[in-house]
């Protein structure tokens, strides 16, 4: 058995503190009961991208069918909602990290968005929502005259 010098938490470097917190978080997450795990809500992960003509929202919703997802648009708001349903029987389940349940994400839309031409596509568990910019708000290049 080795004797290790005591170091209190305040004297540790940030890497060691992060490692310890990750370890404690892992243990506490592992100890979560199945009831807590299945009742916990979830939010799909989202990326947003901007290019010259559009904003694009990518939503990770693996295991869901397009019928389980709804997209609603109002004048200045976009709401994505749905429910990821658990299909298999969990009678012999030992451990699960997957999340199920209802979700809802809302985004405030800029006045730059052409709400009448928003399009959505769903492929391989990724929902892509294209929010086109209005023509008058797109950047344009100004020609320089030599005079």
pLDDT of residue 39: 44
Residues 21 and 68 in one domain: no
According to DSSP, residue 1 is labeled -
User: Does residue 34 sit in the same domain as residue 66?
Assistant: no
Same domain, yes or no: 51 and 33 = no
- Bridge partners of 128, per DSSP, are 58, 121
Strands (E), 51-112: 54-60, 69-73, 77-84, 101-108
Any domain includes 4 = no
8 Å CB contact between 105 and 47? no
Average pLDDT, the chain: 80
Q: Considering the domain boundaries, does residue 1 fall inside one?
A: no
Q: Is position 2 within any domain? A: no
Question: How much of the chain exceeds pLDDT 70, in percent?
Answer: 70
Reply yes or no on whether the pLDDT at 2 is more than 70.
no
Would residue 147 count as lying in a domain? no
Whether residues 66 and 119 share a domain: the answer is yes
pLDDT value at position 145?
Answer: 87
Is there a domain that residue 5 lies in? no
Q: Which domain covers residue 34, as residue numbers? A: 12-40
CA 8 to chain centre: 37
The domain total for the chain is 2
Say whether both 74 and 125 belong to one domain: yes
Q: Is the domain of 24 the same as that of 82?
A: no
Is 65 within the bounds of a domain? yes
Mean pLDDT of 15-44: 57
Q: Quick check: is 120 in a domain?
A: yes
Do 36 and 106 lie in a common domain?
Answer: no
CATH of the domain at 52: 2.60.40.790
Query: Are residues 33 and 59 both part of a single domain?
Result: no
35 lies in the same domain as 103: no
- Residue 113 covered by a domain: yes
């Amino acid at each position: 058995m080795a004797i290790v010098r005591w170091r209190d938490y305040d004297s540790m470097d940030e890497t060691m503190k992060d490692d310890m917190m990750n370890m404690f978080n892992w243990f506490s997450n592992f100890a979560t009961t199945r009831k807590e795990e299945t009742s916990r809500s979830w939010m799909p992960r989202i990326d947003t991208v901007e290019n010259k003509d559009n904003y694009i929202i990518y939503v990770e919703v693996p295991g869901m069918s397009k019928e389980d997802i709804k997209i609603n648009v109002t004048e200045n708001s976009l709401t994505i909602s749905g429910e990821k349903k658990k299909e298999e029987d969990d009678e012999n389940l030992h451990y699960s990290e997957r999340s199920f349940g209802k979700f809802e994400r809302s985004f405030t839309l800029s006045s730059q968005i052409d709400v009448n031409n928003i399009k959505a596509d769903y492929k391989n568990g990724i929902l892509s929502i294209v929010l086109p910019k209005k023509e008058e708000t797109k950047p344009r290049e100004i020609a320089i005259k030599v005079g």
